[in-house]
Amino acid sequence: MRHAHTVEQVRAAEDVLLARMPEGALMARAAHGLAQAIIDLLGSPYGGRVLLLVGPGNNGGDALFAGAVLARRGCQVEAWTFADRVHEEGERALRAAGGRSSRFDAATSRPAPGTDLVVDGIVGIGGRPGLKPDAIAARDQVTGLPVVAVDVPSGVDVDSGETPGPHVTADVTVTFGTHKVAHLVDPAAAACGAVHLVDLGLALPPADVEALQPVDVAALLPRPGTQAHKYTRGVVGIRAGSSDYPGAGLLSVAGASTGLCGMVRYVGDAAVATRVRDVHPEVVGDGRVQAWVVGSGTGPHAAAELAAVLRDGESGVPCVIDADALAHVTAPLTSPAVLTPHAGELAAMTGVDRADIEAAPLAHARRAAMTYDAVVLLKGRHTLVAAPDGRVRVTTTGTPWLATAGAGDVLGGLIGALLAAGLDPFDAASVGSWVHGAAATLASDGGPIVAVDVASAVPAVVRRLLA
């Protein structure tokens, strides 16, 4: 599991460690980790050329000490500083190792020819979002050069993942001790590039934001016991599709019919049911279920289909509510549910502009989960799964090729199968989203896919996880 802690949690853990370590030892550990990551990128430090952008705090100190390590290894290192006073010991170490340091001047400062990469140490995790004018000017001067951010890209909001002002966009972010929310949650996560964690030995409390890793997904996946039969493995019912949108029903069933539960029932338009049976002869009709999936392609019948599902939910049967049915959800829900909106659908549900949701997805997903008393899966590049108690899991699997019609229908069916197999809504939504993204990546293999390809790749992903 990748855990993302808040600035307050990190600072408290650092204080405990600092109290029992020699002065400067923690920064030295961070700086050496940063320097090694830069060396890995350069291939060899000897003959390389690195430019440091150095702010006034410990973040700038990390950059300066790392620069000193690089200079001692034969790298040409120059630092631009952005304050009258920077980390004095770090600056002395850089100069003693042969590096150069000067105050940034927007009119005259230019990267030296042949500069290999830029290290962003302007603002650390204690900084406010946005950049000051001189930092913006320096950022613009190094456009086109690879950027390594120290802890977080300068200017992002660390605890929310928001980017309300100008900020640095990094190719690689080297962070210390633990991940921060900005490393996982968009739009800030998109500015981080690849994230490399340097372990500092911090003792940290549980985190409210996390991201599943393959071992976590494998541990959560339902597996049939030796005495299992189709009913003990769970039955999921699909109420999706219509004469206008038959494909939605077929794709929802495809997502559910990936082998993760024992049986799939289709309840809906008769013509769609015939097509479902032609493609999936193992799917049966109405009957008792352990979970429902409702909404995709139901059009004018969405309210009635949702009402039928929620009546069953009064006895504890959980459901996945997607697409057309989301417009008919009223808060709070009285049965266990997973809501699966994209930003536009959540905007319609909550009366908030779509742009505002896209700018602050973590805040809006959490607020919706509390309002509806349900798990809310907010789709995006990094999909968020928010529980009513504030816990959030971030999906980091997937590929841009997954932005294709019907992919959400497959996801709803997949989550419904996991609910029927016994996972609680939070686990079902986060595991389903992870597997969905991994299946898309596998099916894509770097090229285009359609939604049915994602469903077809799920069994292979599960086999790899369980192996």
Question: In the chain, what are the domains?
Answer: 2-211 (3.40.50.10260), 214-466 (3.40.1190.20)
Q: What average pLDDT score do residues 160-179 get? A: 98
Binding site listing for (6S)-NADPHX: 58-62, 124-130, 151, 248, 297, 342, 409
Specify the pTM: 0.96
Q: Tell me if residue 417 falls in helix, strand or coil.
A: helix
Q: What average pLDDT score do residues 234-255 get? A: 97
- Tokens at 371, concatenated: 């309002």
Whether residue 328 contacts residue 302, with contact meaning beta carbons closer than 8 Å, is answered with yes
Question: According to the model, what pLDDT value does residue 33 have?
Answer: 97
Q: How many helices (H) and strands (E) does the chain have?
A: 17, 18
Question: According to the model, what pLDDT value does residue 312 have?
Answer: 84
The CA distance from 235 to 207, in Å, is 34
The residues, ordered by sequence, that sit 6+ positions from 369 with a Cβ below 8 Å of its Cβ are: 375, 376, 386, 387, 388
What distances in angstroms separate CA 123 from CA 86, 91, 415, 448, one per listed residue?
A: 12, 16, 40, 39
The CA distance from 395 to 398, in Å, is 8
The residues, ordered by sequence, that sit 6+ positions from 433 with a Cβ below 8 Å of its Cβ are: 377, 383, 385, 393, 395, 397, 411, 415
Closest to 30 (Cα-Cα) out of 65, 56, 54: 65
Binding site listing for AMP: 379-383, 408
DSSP-H helix ranges across 280-424: 302-313, 343-350, 354-359, 361-372, 407-420
Q: Tell me if residue 65 falls in helix, strand or coil.
A: helix
Q: pLDDT tens, 345-361?
A: 999 999 999 999 999 99
Position 83 pLDDT exceeds 90: no
Q: pLDDT tens, 332-342?
A: 999 999 999 99
- Tokens at 206, concatenated: 């549980």
Binding site listing for K(+): 59, 120, 154
Binding site listing: 58-62, 120, 124-130, 151, 154, 248, 297, 342, 379-383, 408-409
* Phi/psi at 62 (5° precision): -55, -45
Q: pLDDT tens, 96-139?
A: 999 999 999 999 999 999 999 999 999 999 989 999 999 999 99
Position 313 pLDDT exceeds 80: no
Q: Residue 448, preceding bond cis, omega within 30 degrees? A: no
